Structure 1
Amino acid sequence: MFDYPVILTPDDGTVLVTFPDVPEAITFGVNEDEALLYAVEALESALLFYINDRAPLPVPSEANGRPTVRPSALECAKLGVYQAMTEQGIKKSELARRLGWHMPQVDRLFDLSHASRFDQIEAAARALGRHIEVRVA
């Protein structure tokens, strides 16, 4: 769902990573493996800009043979709740009201660097008429 294709470009002894769908996410590594590892953090940081700006998340394009990077499972769950909220036109204050939470709790829920409890993410999804599905592939 949040698998974003990357472009790996050799760059003077390092590997540059860019995201066609998330131009704010740029990083590099000494080799492809390290570059892809750092790409996860760059992607999460860039997607946080969209959340902070209350903007829709960029839609990942087709990989077409390129490697893809996705945020961690917890962050994907948070992004899914955020995406459902924006699709429904619901603001954070309305979500807080539905959950009976204070605004700082909702803000932490969408902070991708905060280790939210999974039951809180599930509660937010339910408040939006959605549910979280987890699978191991």
Structure 2
Amino acid sequence: MYNYAIRFEQDSTPGLAVFCRDLPELNSYGDDREHAISEAVDAIEVTLSIYVDQRRPIPESSEPLPGEQVIYLPAVTVAKILLWNTMMERGMRKADLRRLLGVHQSQGDRLVDFMHTSKMEQIEAALAALGKRLAVTVQAA
């Protein structure tokens, strides 16, 4: 659902440029393939922040194409995506979420801030206030 596929392109300088079909705003770089993959999670989270800043829903991932590398996001990041997209479906702003939860601005804003680690319980509570329940599954690696 939110496991984004990235592709690598050899740059004219040493290193690899990273791109994502589903998140065209994503732009990242790594010294080599391993470094590029480790940088991709941060790049995806920065890109998700752009969607929040622009009040746009975050797109689901599409099936990877041959040669692409799938990036599996942390569970807390996926939960934040689900919270944000639920808010977008309902036309809610961050201020609406804060009022609904009865929390201060910084507490509410962090729930949809991909650069801040939130407690999963807080995100679950926010989803519950919106009539949603988070379900977690385990898959083979």
Unaligned runs of 5+ residues in structure 2 are none
Equivalent residue, structure 2, for 1:14 = 15
Report what 1:134 is aligned to: 136
Partner of 1:49: 50
The equivalences for 1:21-100 within 5 A come to 21-65=22-66, 66-100=68-102
C-alpha separation in 2, matches of 1:13 and 1:107? 39
| Code of the aligned partner of 2:2 | F
Once superposed, which parts of structure 1, at least 4 consecutive aligned residues long, lie more than 6 Å away?
A: none
Cα distance in structure 2, aligned partners of 1:104 and 1:123: 16
1:119 corresponding residue in structure 2:
121
Instruction: Specify the code of the residue in structure 2 equivalent to 1:34.
Output: H
| 1:3 aligned partner | 3
Q: SS at the partner of 2:50?
A: helix
Task: Give the direction of change, closer, same or farther, for the CA distance of 1:51–1:70 in structure 2 (3 Å limit).
Answer: farther
Percent of matched pairs sharing the same residue: 36
Task: Give me the whole-angstrom Cα distance separating, in 1, the residues matched to 2:129 and 2:93.
Answer: 12
The code of the aligned residue for 1:9 comes to E
Secondary structure, counterpart of 2:59 in structure 1? coil
Take 1:15 and 1:115, find their aligned partners in 2: how far apart are those partners? Answer: 28
Structure 2 CA distance, aligned partners of 1:68 and 1:135? 18
C-alpha distance in 1, partners of 2:25/2:65?
A: 21
- Cα deviation for residue 94 of structure 1 reads 2.2
**Matched length:** 137
Give 1:72 shift: 1.8
Match of 1:105 in 2: 107
Which amino acid is 1:60 matched to?
A: S
Deviation at 1:118, TM superposition (A): 1.4
CA distance in 2, matches of 1:81, 1:116: 12
Residues 8-66 of structure 1 show CA distances to partners (whole Å, capped at 9, x for unaligned) of 11223312111112122111212212111111111100110111221111332221232
CA separation in 2, counterparts of 1:26 and 1:17? 6
The whole-number CA distance in structure 2 between the counterparts of 1:6 and 1:60 is 10
Alpha-carbon displacement from aligned partner over 1:83-113 (angstroms, at most 9, x marks no partner): 1111122222222222122232211111112
Gaps of 5+ in 1: none
